[in-house]
Amino acid sequence: MADIKIKIIGCGDAFGNGGRLNTCFYLEAANINLLIDCGATVLPGLKKHGIATEQVDAILISHFHGDHYGGIPFLLVEAAVTGRTKQLQIVTPMGGREKITSLLELLYPAMDVLAKLDVVFLEYEAREELTTDTFSLIAFPVIHAAPALPHGLRLTIEDKVISYSGDTSWTDELIPLSAEADLFICECNFFNTQVKGHLSYFELESKLHEFSYKRIVLTHLDEEMLQNIEQIKLDCANDGMEMIIS
């Protein structure tokens, strides 16, 4: 089976601590290129790495916060302006079409962007497998701001599994979400501060014996995490970081 290449476009928290961009992971596989989350900074992030929006076949969204889906309107507007004809799949929790349509109208009124593009909206429900021609997805409910419909995502492409926690406090859902995953991208917003809706490193470290993933990378780091980065024993994401899943 072909490798999957992952480029971290952005791995920062909502406030850009450390000068990092909002969450966005670009996956390049044999039959599909996709984004996992699409924060507000996605367009300059993609351009920095020479990735054209035309290359993106699908966008998967973990929850409805601006640093995770706020970049979609900008990507769609550029696609419309440049005359994109290729279909784009957007996969979200329930209500994605309505929320993205509203965002487009607020940011770019009267442009009627979606009418100019071939966009297919797909919605997932917790623990129900969503299958397309090129990937399958199972979403797990996690603990974050409830109105944002937070989920962790378990993505399977051919025989590779990439799991992503989304934004969350500790929840036992992370165990099956990441089980035997080739890569588990896990949020770790804080070092030792404990706040509902996000993980701390000390808390996560105490749970590591419960996991069975093959590799873990921490993301969504705040200033506290960055200041203590030398004490962290797990791999931490950086903007521009590349990984290959073989």
Q: Which residues pair with 91 in a beta bridge?
A: 60, 122
Region 11-25: mean pLDDT is 97
Kindly report the number of other CB atoms within 10 A of residue 19's CB atom.
8
Q: Write out pLDDT tens, residues 124-147.
A: 999 999 999 999 999 999 999 999
Which pLDDT tens digit goes with each residue over 93-123?
A: 999 999 999 999 999 999 999 999 999 999 9
Please, what's the largest Cα pairwise distance for the chain?
53
**CATH number for the domain whose boundaries are 4-235:** 3.60.15.10
**3 state SS of 2:** coil
pLDDT at 1 over 90: no
pLDDT in tens, 30-48: 999 999 999 999 999 999 9
Q: What is the pLDDT of residue 2?
A: 85
99 C-beta neighbours (distance < 10 Å), count: 17
Strand ranges, E, within the chain: 4-10, 24-28, 33-36, 58-60, 88-92, 119-123, 130-131, 136-141, 151-157, 160-164, 183-187, 216-219, 235-236, 242-245
Report the sign of the C-alpha dihedral through residues 63, 65, 71, 72, in that order.
positive
Q: What is the mean pLDDT of residues 184-210?
A: 97
Q: Cβ distance 61 to 164 under 8 Å?
A: no
